[in-house]
Structure 1
């Protein structure tokens, strides 16, 4: 959990996708790669596997995947469960730059 605090405690926005291993995982990776490439140094983009991070998932009450969150300065700014396209995610993150 301390490591998670370090990840989200930065000045720039942090977009996190909580996901599970699936056949659709490659599509999600491509979406996140596109978001990360577009945002560049303006934001951090992170993917967290729910199956490998049970304590964190329980602490954040992630019930379904994918769940997206945006943090800034350690505080959650936005949260949504369900698929999101890269344009939507980029627009959302840019609100917090």
Structure 2
């Protein structure tokens, strides 16, 4: 089972904005090759950070309003939220160490 959850327009505020821990939101799409490559990396990171942070995915094809709100121009794009605010953005395929380091800096 994946440690990575999903969120959408309806649950975004509850899952992300009102979270009491850092949240990584991965904006992705089914047809995106680099997004599929990133998925197992995010699973690993989620398993290692455990309860200290949340990792959620947003399908840009199904949630265009969210993608537009956060200025998503290319995918994968990861936005790291702290206290309901975007704190850092990583665009493109990133390594596990970089993702984990960014989450730890926000914890």
TM superposition score normalised by structure 1:
0.90
Q: Is 1:56 the equivalent of 2:66?
A: yes
Which whole-Å CA distance do the structure 2 matches of 1:41 and 1:26 have between them? 24
User: Is 1:30 paired with 2:40?
Assistant: yes
2:13 to 1, 5, 14: 5
Structure 1 residue runs without a partner (length 5+): none
Cα deviation digits, residues 48-89 of structure 1 (max 9, x gap): 111111111111111100101100111111012111111110
Unaligned runs of 5+ in 2: 1-8
Q: Distance in 1 between matches of 2:47 and 2:70?
A: 27
Moved over 6 A (4+): none
TM-score by length of 2: 0.82
Within the candidate set 76, 79, 104, 1:94 is matched to 104
Question: Take 1:24 and 1:75, find their aligned partners in 2: how far apart are those partners?
Answer: 26
Larger fraction in helix = 1
Q: C-alpha root-mean-square deviation of aligned residues, in Å? A: 1.4
Tell me the number of residue pairs that the alignment of Structure 1 and Structure 2 aligns.
97
